[in-house]
Amino acid sequence: MIQKHNVIEVENLSKLFGDFAAVNQISFQVKAGEIFGFLGANGAGKTTAMKMLIGISSPTSGKATVAGFDVYREAESIKKNIGYMSQKFALYDDLTVKENITFFGGIYGLSKKQIEQKRCELVEELGLQEVTNSLVASLPLGWKQKLAFSVSLLHEPKIVFLDEPTGGVDPITRRQFWELIYKAAHNGTTIFVTTHYMDEAEYCDRVSIMVNGKIEALDTPKKLKEQYKTNTMNDVFLKLARG
């Protein structure tokens, strides 16, 4: 069911700010349906790299395609084919759940009927029946997070980019959130996720670890642990980050 072709291909991609290389010649591929963990300490260049892939920042040099589109020339096509959720779970607090869904469905060009249908599914799945007409501001953080994720999937993107999606939520909620991620991946959506929770790295199919703008390691969590002779991803990360 899952096609094994690459949906993200990156080759020697760099981003310079003056003399400083925020992203320094990184290369990697992500396969369709994969959960790809993009790890790194704060300031390692994760966010900059991700911004180039989602088409809101243009690279200094190197090649990259996302969903088959070139990041230099076809940013607009990329935007139609990806979903994005930021670490702020950005929804409109002063709009109701229903209005948020309608709005975001609308800007992705979904028809009224599609939005209606998607909304019913989504509300059903997340158990939000009681609060569809409440303002998002009144929802607990965990619900906002799940809603934001589901909203980023409204237009059935091929790839969804998650920028530290679990910041500030409790472990149980994080766990539930990862169940949603698995479900989406199971349906064929590719997941590209940045995180600095190392236990979450264990949930990914493959992870890359960025240090100072470069990708220092890239493999399955299991192989990385073998390679660095440790029991946890946390230790792998510490070994790498400390050089």
Binding site for another protein (CB under 8 A): 54-58, 76, 79-80, 82, 84-95, 99, 102-104, 106-109, 161
Q: What is the maximal distance between C-alpha atoms in the chain? A: 54
Write down the least CB distance from residue 235 to another protein, Å: 32
Write down the least CB distance from residue 83 to another protein, Å: 9
Write down the least CB distance from residue 76 to another protein, Å: 7
The rounded distance, in Å, linking the Cα atoms of 216 and 234 is 15
Instruction: Give the nearer residue to another protein in terms of CB position, either 142 or 239.
Output: 142
Instruction: Give the nearer residue to another protein in terms of CB position, either 57 or 212.
Output: 57
Which of 3, 87, 81, 97 shows the shortest CA–CA distance to 46? 87
Helix (H) / strand (E) element for 190: namely strand 190-195
Write down the least CB distance from residue 103 to another protein, Å: 5
As a whole number of Å, the CA-based R_g of the chain is 18
Q: Look at strands 159-163 and 190-195 and give their pairing.
A: parallel
Write down the least CB distance from residue 222 to another protein, Å: 32
Instruction: Give the nearer residue to another protein in terms of CB position, either 13 or 201.
Output: 13
Q: What residues contact residue 58 under an 8 Å CB cut-off, 6+ apart?
A: 52, 71, 72, 75
* Per-residue DSSP letter, 2: -
Instruction: Give the nearer residue to another protein in terms of CB position, either 175 or 196.
Output: 196
Which residue type sits at 103?
Answer: F
Instruction: Give the nearer residue to another protein in terms of CB position, either 60 or 227.
Output: 60
